[in-house]
Structures are given as structure tokens and as C-alpha cells.
Chain A
Amino acid sequence: MDFGVIKEYLPLYEKAFLLTIKIGWIGILLSLVLGILVAFILFYRIPVLKLIAGAYIELFRNTPLLVQLFFLYFGLPKIGLSISAEWCGALGLGLLGGSYMAEGFRSGLEAIPVSQTESAYSLGMSKGQMFRKVILPQAFSLSIPAIVANVIFLLKETSVFSAISLMDLMFTAKDLIGLYYNTTECLFLLVLFYILMLLPVSIAGSVVEKKARYRMFGV
């Protein structure tokens, strides 16, 4: 391995790394909001919306992210909606992630006894207060393992962004290999940066998971 080459490529990878993280986290944020919303709709069986929510989940869980990105990137302009590649990436990730997060939240919601809702009502809380202060925080704690797994999964899925010409890590590696054939160095940097991106999430995730579980269940 040629460390001179590695040093030379490092800034390019750094740039790609930051871009991947930026789009990745915007997408993840979107997926959380969307996931909570969809889980709420499904859990409370809100008429009409629940059908749309169900269809959404099936559609996005059963198609590859790559196909979804193509659809957003090449399809939307055909109907007069064109958005930047970066927003396409974030939106695609958010839509895919939302369908997974929704399932995670829903199982969290289902694990909370009905009596929690009733004691909240009994104390005079409105539906909104009950959901925000009593149900959501508990559902969130219960869903943390699922959320962490989904976050890691989504960050890894960013590797298909290169297909819509986003200069992410994968794109950078492929590009450099194609140009200069320094395969070993390029792949080494690729692995390194993915680990750099995911390891902290993984560690922080298990810490948060332990804390939330301990607070509620003492184990």
C-alpha cells in the first residue's frame, strides 16, 4: 500500500464523507418524522389515511433504493418537478427509511398498555398531550433498538447515491479506481470512511439503548 497515494486522496474522501453524512442525516431525520407520522396513522387506524400509509410502506419496503432514486431523479422532472441530486438522495432515503421506521415505532406503540392512555385521560390530558407526553416518549424508548438498526442500515444504503451522480464515498472510490487503478488504497480508504461513519453511530446507539432500557425497566 502506498501511503503517499492515501495522503493525496484523503481530501477527496473527506469531501465525499461530509456530503454522505449531510445527505444521510437529512434523510434519516426525514425518515424519523415520516415514520412517527405513519406509525401514528396505522396505530390509531385513522380512516382513509391508514390505507395510504399501508400502501406507502409496502411500496417503499419492497423496492430497492436504487429504483426509488431513479424514479425521483429521472421521473419527477418528466412531470415538471425537478429537484437537485442531493435532495433526491435525502428524499429517497427519507421515504425508504420512513417505511422501516414506521414499523419500528408501531411495534413500540403496541407494546404500551392501554392503561397508560387511560391514566393520562383520567388526569385530564387532551389526546395531543397524552400522545406527546405519555405515549410518544415510551414508544420512542421501546423503539430505540429498531431505530438504531435502521439508522445504520440507511447510512449504508447511501452507497447507491453514486447512481444519481452524487459524489459520495462510493462514487469517489469508483471514480479514482477508474482513473488511476490504485485499487488497494482506494478500497482501504472506502472501508475506513464507512467505518468512521458507522462505528460512532453503533456505539452511541447501544449506549442510548441501554440508558433508555435501564430507565424504564431497570435492566
Chain B
Amino acid sequence: MSEIVSVKNLCKRYDELTVLDNISFSVQKGEVVVIVGPSGCGKSTLLRCLNGLEEIQDGRIFLDGEKIETNRNKTNGLCERMGMVFQSYDLFPHKTILQNLTLAPIIVKKRKRKEVEEEALALLERVGLSSKKDSYPRQLSGGQKQRVAIVRALIMHPEVLLLDEITAALDPEMVREVLDVVLNLAREGRTMLIVTHEMQFARAVADRMLFLEGGKIVEEGEPEEFFEHPKTERLRQFLQTFTYIKE
């Protein structure tokens, strides 16, 4: 396996608040890394830094050996080699589902409309939404919108997918349909960095787990070890908040 993402001594501050404190880790090609941690610990910030949406104060991020410019004004085309899906889907409300999918490949990658449309339809088919191609985002349920958002990231052929709590805004009955899509992507060998609060899912999909707290990676490990035998007290306590035991 070869290293695709490498984060070295990443520091991110908002004024006085240090959100990411000297973080280093790497992701191998084809690996699924799941990040968990209490709310506000900087999980979203970390993904956003990788995707070039935040300026960082210190450290470096490499994609396939090349340094990512996290300054929007001199982006070097590396960030779009990572696709990101957000909690709130953020589809473009003024465009149909098909247009949502084809916009970026056509204007960013200068691909031919016909070819992109064919690919978009094939991908929609795979997530069971071909019938919605001419609908507008508002006409879809949350779960459907999130599946479209995943496809919108996929059609850019990203080398890494960043998923930030993509089921957090969904009604419980829609969580499954979205997570199934992600599980399938994992089976195909996609490289993914996933932030989630769905522990069952994390366990099923992860090759490696990271526990983020207080701006640092407090613990990491294979899912089995991570969930069954947490080494740190902090992770043990965190995991306990997800189990309901009658006292």
C-alpha cells in the first residue's frame, strides 16, 4: 500500500482558540479511516483543512506526495482531487439533480456534456435515483439528497473522499440507505476519511479508527481493538456515551 494523504504537524486556530494542535497522520491508498470524537473537538475543521476550505496556521498536508496550498487565492488544483460531502448536503437548489452532477465536470474539468451526462445517469442508477434526474433538490428526501451529494463528489473522480457526518441531519429511517452507499464504496476500495457518530457503521466500514479530542489524536487503532479494548481512559469514556446500560 502507498500513502495518499499525509498530514504533518497541522495546527489550526481561530483567534485564541486552538482547534487542531499539531496533528500528524496519514492515509493509505484504499484505506477507510474513521474519525470519531466529542462534538466540537475539531473533526469538521480537520476535513475542511484537507479540502482547502480553511487557512491553516502551521503544518503541511500532502496529497500523493504533493503539498496542498490551503490558501484559496493560490490553490493548485489539489483540493479538488479530494471530494467532500457535507452534513447539510448543499446541493445547488436552482439546478436539477442531473445539472447538479454535471456542472463541475463540465466547467471545471472541461469534459463533454454528453459523456458527463451518461456517467451521471449511470451513477444515479447505482444509488437508485435515476428517476429523479430532472427533479429539483427540494423535491427529494434528505436521504436522497445526501446520495446525490455523494454522487456529485464521485463524478469528479476524487482520489480521496471526505465525509463529514453525512447522516447527522437525516431522519433515522434514511440513515441506512446513505450508509449502504458508503459501505459499497468502501468495498470497491475507495480511499475515504469519514467523520461519523454512527458507531456500528464506523466499526463495519473502518480499516482504522482515530479518536480526536482536545485538538489531538488521542488514540488510534484497528476497529476491533479500538472498540473492544480502548487503551485510553478518555476513549473508554467517550465510547460509553454510546451504550445504554440500565443501572
Contacts and interface: CB of A to CB of B under 8 A. Distances in A.
18 contacts: A118-B90, A119-B86, A119-B90, A122-B79, A122-B83, A123-B156, A124-B104, A124-B109, A125-B104, A129-B108, A134-B92, A138-B92, A138-B93, A138-B94, A141-B94, A215-B94, A217-B93, A218-B136
Contacts of A113: 88, 90
Contact of A122 (B53, B92, B93, B136): B53
A137 interface: yes
Interface string B150-175: 00110010000000000000000000
Interface string B70-108: 001000010110011010101111100000000110011
Interface of A: 113, 115-116, 118-119, 121-125, 127, 129, 133-134, 137-138, 141, 215-218
Contacts of A138: 92-94
Contacts of B94: 137-138, 141, 215-216
Contact of A124 (B88, B91, B156): B156
B86 A216 contact: no
Given A133-B103, A216-B138, A218-B139, A125 B108 contact: yes
B77 A124 contact: yes
A116 B138 contact: no
A121 B53 contact: yes
A128 B77 CA distance: 15
Contacts of A124: 77, 79-80, 104, 108-109, 156
A124 B156 CA distance: 9
A138 B93 CA distance: 8
Given A122-B51, A123-B80, A133-B103, 9 more contacts: A113-B90, A115-B86, A116-B92, A119-B91, A123-B153, A124-B156, A129-B107, A216-B138, A218-B138
Contacts of B51: 122
Interface string B199-222: 000000000000000000000000
B93 to A, nearest CB: 5
B52 interface: yes
Contacts of A119: 84, 86, 90-92
Nearest to A136: B94
